Amino acid sequence: MIRKTFFINKYDYGKNVVDLNEYVISFGTNCNLGCEYCYLKFSKTPTIPVIYKNYQKLEEEAKVLFSNSDRELFYFNLGETTDSLLTEKHFEFLQKIIEIISFLAKKYKKFCYIELRTKTNNILKLNKNLFFENMKLIYASSLSLNETIKKFEHNTATLNQRIESLKFAESLGFYLAIRLEPIIIYPVYGIKYEDIIFSVENIIEKYKSLIKLVLETINLKKIHSITMSTLRLTKKQFKILKERKSKLCFFEMFLCQDAKFRYSRPIRTTIYNKIIEFIKSTNDEILKKTLLSFEFDYIWQDCNLKIKKLTDVKDETQNC
């Protein structure tokens, strides 16, 4: 399929949401992994996953971006409009894009991070080390609790498979990113007001175990960043899912300034604060790489987190 609109776009986070300074490369669209909350199902996209083949257009856009900008560092996210590693074709096209960006980054004296974000374990099929000049590749795994995966992320890899994949990606030379997105409170459907605290505490404890497990498994020096955000749904999604009696929606979700429904501020800040506290107690250095995602500045403040961008996070080589 031919892409007619831009391949490369500055990420549009939405009104008053903190900008993490990413560009999205939309090399494909749609995904058949079937996450119940996925915005792609509610957008105008082809009905099956597609890859855009006209990479010459992407090359032209990257040239313009690099030649017109004084900045030296770019962060590209290749997992926004499709799962980065969904199929073999995704792999093939990704390699092409990475070669193009690497060549141009060198030519225009830029440095790039390329994030490949996935809920699969398809990286296990990749049997080669990837090294490119003027860039670092980041393997970003969205980690969810097993019960969330079973309920809402139907065809995706299990938590253990996702963690195993992180370890494997590390062995291939990738930097690693942990994406705790979206954090979903469960159960919420049909619960009473007084049961919310239990559901929230329950989720926090399970996330602590998840984080402990992953931090014990991977090389901490290879972590580029940890981001977290709780569930957010567009107005349209919220309406449709509520009508379908989806177990995602409940009465403690409110419309925010960016026109997305989220859990209430006290719920979000409680979850973030407890997780941040836990990360700090486990490894203080990792806290410097921890960011909120798709949140407002007042939530960062509630969590005593200094606002930073993905391009501000210092990796292993910069720390030396």
Binding-site ranges for ligand SF4 (CB under 6 A):
31, 33-35, 38, 40, 82-83, 119, 156
CB of 35 to ligand SF4, least distance (A): 3
CB of 40 to ligand SF4, least distance (A): 5
Q: List, in sequence order, every residue forming a beta bridge with 121; answer none if it has no partner.
A: none
213-220 contact pairs (CB < 8 A, 24+): 213/163, 214/143, 214/163, 214/166, 214/178, 215/282, 215/283, 215/286, 217/163, 217/166, 217/167, 218/163, 218/166, 218/167, 218/170, 218/176, 219/170, 220/283, 220/285, 220/286
CB of 43 to ligand SF4, least distance (A): 10
CB of 118 to ligand SF4, least distance (A): 7
Q: Which is nearer to ligand SF4, 38 or 240 (CB)?
A: 38
Q: Which is nearer to ligand SF4, 152 or 207 (CB)?
A: 152
Q: Which is nearer to ligand SF4, 141 or 225 (CB)?
A: 141
Q: Which is nearer to ligand SF4, 29 or 269 (CB)?
A: 29
Q: Which is nearer to ligand SF4, 36 or 277 (CB)?
A: 36
Q: Which is nearer to ligand SF4, 38 or 305 (CB)?
A: 38
Helix and strand numbers, DSSP H then E, in the chain: 10, 13
CB of 300 to ligand SF4, least distance (A): 24
